[in-house]
Amino acid sequence: MTISEAPRLVGDERIDVVPISYPDPGAGQLLLRVRANALCGSDRGAWAHGADVVPGHELAGEVVAAGPETRTSVGTRGVVYLMVFCGRCRNCRRGMTNLCLDKQGDVGFNRDGGLGPFVLVEERVFFAVDDDVPFALATMLLDVMGTSGHALDRAERLLPDVGSIHVVGAGPVGLGTLVMARIRYGDDVPIAVSDVSPERLGLAASLGATVAVAPHEVGSLEPVDLAVDSSGRTEARAAALAGLRKPGVLVCVGHGQELHLDVSRDLIATERAVIGSEYFPYGDLERNLELLRDHRDAVARVITHTFDVAELAGAFTTFLGGGSGKVVVTQDGVAR
């Protein structure tokens, strides 16, 4: 057992540092020393209301102990897939680990996560990353590249020749969608981005958005083949749907509010589709690692701030202020 101090969010934007005991890894488990963890919009609840476990689900680290029946050696670097999928159910066998029917937990939500010094995980949710990829950059394989890449995959099943895109919301997943779409479709495909934050619109423009507009200007955009909503807002989704060509696809990635459909107008007469996309299959990590290696600089620009874990409060304030890109919390000053 390893006892180490970890930040506990107790609500009202307060952090207590408390000793946490990390058990030795059991069969099939790895103990990781966390080196970097990116903050996510879904950490907002823990910051405001507290959490029973140490939050953090976009983490990279290195293996410091490996339990029996594992093949990963101590010292291996890698990232952790949020969902502790079973690996055996029908969906896992189909590669849909993001829809596991017998999920054992979610790292950082009901198991101690990446804002602490260590994380104990099942080997099957660990994904090894080469030593030349810095830890902070490696965290981009998760929500930023993974979630947005899967959203594009989902859309392509219905619309293989995407010619224009509207990214709704320029938070980390929206910016990730912008970057992944640029990588995938090249410079000639117009990509519009809309968001309430002028800072984030500026960031979107610097990351390759063709046009970056406030929500009230969305009606003036050219119609697009594909809209990806990461805002989770009813109005934004409705506007995105209304701005689709026929046919067109709206992929909802951001959890949040409702969307009301006039089925005849919105779906039948226009042959549009509204689909959801949840996290991403574990198997996508392989492809996304290759993309990360080939487009390292473009992906790295999604990270706008890096804080040592000692400055965790500042990291949260900066990130939840809504004007940043991805904020990464590092440990031991290792942001390599």
- Where along the sequence are the contacts to Zn ion (CB under 5 A)? 40, 85-86, 89, 92, 100, 102, 143
* Residue with smaller CB distance to Zn ion, 118 or 319: 319
Q: How far is the CB of 328 from Zn ion (least distance, A)?
A: 12
Q: How far is the CB of 316 from Zn ion (least distance, A)?
A: 14
* Residue with smaller CB distance to Zn ion, 89 or 196: 89
Strands (E), the chain: 2-11, 14-22, 29-38, 59-66, 77-80, 83-84, 105-106, 118-122, 126-128, 165-168, 191-194, 211-213, 224-229, 244-252, 273-276, 303-308, 326-330
Residue that has been written with the tokens 């029996």 in this structure: 68
* Residue with smaller CB distance to Zn ion, 143 or 266: 143
Task: Please tell me what DSSP assigns to residue 143.
Answer: I
Using CB atoms within 10 Å of the CB of residue 117, give its burial: 0 to 12 exposed, 13 to 18 middle, 19+ buried.
Answer: buried
Q: What CA–CA distance (Å, rounded) separates 225 from 231?
A: 18
* Residue with smaller CB distance to Zn ion, 76 or 91: 91
* Residue with smaller CB distance to Zn ion, 127 or 185: 127
* Residue with smaller CB distance to Zn ion, 100 or 162: 100
Q: What CA–CA distance (Å, rounded) separates 20 from 8?
A: 9
Q: How far is the CB of 317 from Zn ion (least distance, A)?
A: 18
* Residue with smaller CB distance to Zn ion, 92 or 213: 92
Q: What CA–CA distance (Å, rounded) separates 37 from 59?
A: 4
Q: How far is the CB of 124 from Zn ion (least distance, A)?
A: 10
When CB distances to Zn ion are compared, the closest residue is 40
Long-range Cβ contact pairs of 231-239 (< 8 A, separation 24 or more): 231/168, 231/169, 231/171, 231/174, 231/195, 231/256, 232/169, 232/256, 232/257, 233/169, 233/257, 234/258, 234/259, 234/260, 236/168, 236/169, 236/194, 237/168, 239/168, 239/215
Q: How far is the CB of 253 from Zn ion (least distance, A)?
A: 11
* Residue with smaller CB distance to Zn ion, 139 or 331: 139
Q: How far is the CB of 190 from Zn ion (least distance, A)?
A: 28
Q: How far is the CB of 141 from Zn ion (least distance, A)?
A: 12
Q: What CA–CA distance (Å, rounded) separates 270 from 132?
A: 48
Q: How far is the CB of 142 from Zn ion (least distance, A)?
A: 7
Alpha helix ranges (H) inside 11-70: 44-49
